[in-house]
Amino acid sequence: MSEAPLLEVANLRTTFDTPRGKVVSVEDVSFSVPRGKTLGLVGESGSGKSVTSLSIMRLVGRGGGQVEAGTITLRGNDGAGIDVLSLPERQMREVRGRDMAMVFQEPMTSLDPVWSIGDQIAESIRLHHGASKREARAQAVEMLRLVGIPAPERRVKDYPHQLSGGMRQRVMIAIALSCRPGLLIADEPTTALDVTIQAQILDLIRRLQAEIGMSVLFITHNLGVVAEIADRVAVMYSGQVVEEGPVAEIFANPRHPYTVGLMASIPGGDHGLKDGHLPTIGGAPPNPLDRPAGCRFAPRCTLAKDACRAAGPALEEVAPQHKVRCIRWQEVTR
């Protein structure tokens, strides 16, 4: 089996046309997801995480966006690469579900309220595998059992409104995994759930990953979740990846001021409370229509100098498999 990563994103640039002008939502984003591993994509709301995932799935156009540059390569078990951005839409529809699938944050906006959950799982199986109605139904029951829904033979007839939030999210995972895709993209799948259910969903994804051998791109704003589930992490800020590397290395030795700020704000983290409050990052992310000329984090960074504001830094390797977009990374301390 090839050692090349299952998913490779290089120099991705995605834009949106708005009444106020073109917005560059994602710019120069590069990362890879190894086979059977999990990459956590983390950052504040509006950092470009979800747009990146929708670009990979070729769904960003439905929201008025377009991928202007970059490459997205998805590899099969034989190591052969699929150029996702060049596929005709008909072939891309086959790739979605069969080779990669996505779980969204709020299942009630993704599940069809007038179809039973069994029919929705079976539809995906019939579409990608050509199974008969009876075979697809039987597989739908097995998928519900696989994701831990009790009495799947009975629940397969239920409609989304009859299920709890945690069970609906399990159904979304069942639909996504029904065709055994090589890559699962999970976009904030636990944000709307309480802590107990969140832990169950994370355990479920880990267990299914071990059983099926899939790769996972896990998108979240929560570094605590990343520490629990991911092998590698890419930190996004204002449409760019500012730091990327192995989870253990990033948590032990963060080299971007933004990453340090995110870690300081984790409840129960190493920094603790200051004056009764969690530490915060001062200021706010730049307006996408009016970003600074140099480093995009410079207006909020306590280490910023004139050189930081003069030109945008490149994402450079500062240690084995550890990349940082900061010219002053050697001075960064926790």
Cα distance between residue 226 and residue 139, in whole Å? 31
For residue range 309-334, list pLDDT tens digits in order.
Answer: 999 999 999 999 999 999 999 999 87
Give 203-239 pLDDT, tens digit per residue: 888 888 888 889 999 999 888 889 989 999 999 999 9
pLDDT recorded at residue 2: 45
- Predicted TM-score of the model (pTM): 0.89
| Residue carrying structure tokens 């106020």 | 20
Percent of the chain having pLDDT more than 90? 58
- State the DSSP H helix or E strand holding residue 162, giving kind and residue range, or none if neither: none
Each residue of 268-318: pLDDT tens digit? 655 555 555 667 888 889 999 889 989 999 999 999 999 999 999 999 999
Break the chain into its structural domains and give their ranges: 1-99+182-283, 111-180
Tell me the C-alpha distance between 318 and 334, whole Å: 17
In words, the CATH class of domain 1-99+182-283 is alpha beta
Torsion, Cα of 138, 139, 141, 144 (10° steps): 180
